[in-house]
Homo-oligomer: A and B are copies of this chain.
Amino acid sequence: MRLKILNWLRRPEDHFPPHNVVKHFNDGVCATYIQEKTNLSQSTISTYLSMMEKCGLLISTRHGKWSYFKRNEKLIAQYANTLK
């Protein structure tokens, strides 16, 4: 599921509805949208996203009550390279 999330976040506009307040995906996608798309519980997604941030795979930005998550391309590229 976390790999899927990483994939969706490559091009958020292809996988998520537009945000209502922040009118772009510059900081990624809000946790709620990700939760809805995965059908996992809110607590699970919250944990996943913060784990992934701690790992360096994601970058999170808080805008008011929402947390947005986007890929940390630099780190992801490094991971992928290590594996390769």
Chain A residues within CB distance 8 Å of chain B: 3, 80, 83-84
The copy count of this chain in the complex is 2
CA distance A3 to B82 in the complex (A): 10
CA distance A84 to B3 in the complex (A): 11
Residues of B within 8 A of A83 (CB): 3, 80, 83
A11 to chain B, nearest CB (A): 16
Residues of B within 8 A of A3 (CB): 83
A56 to chain B, nearest CB (A): 16
A40 to chain B, nearest CB (A): 22
A38 to chain B, nearest CB (A): 19
Residues of B within 8 A of A84 (CB): 80, 84
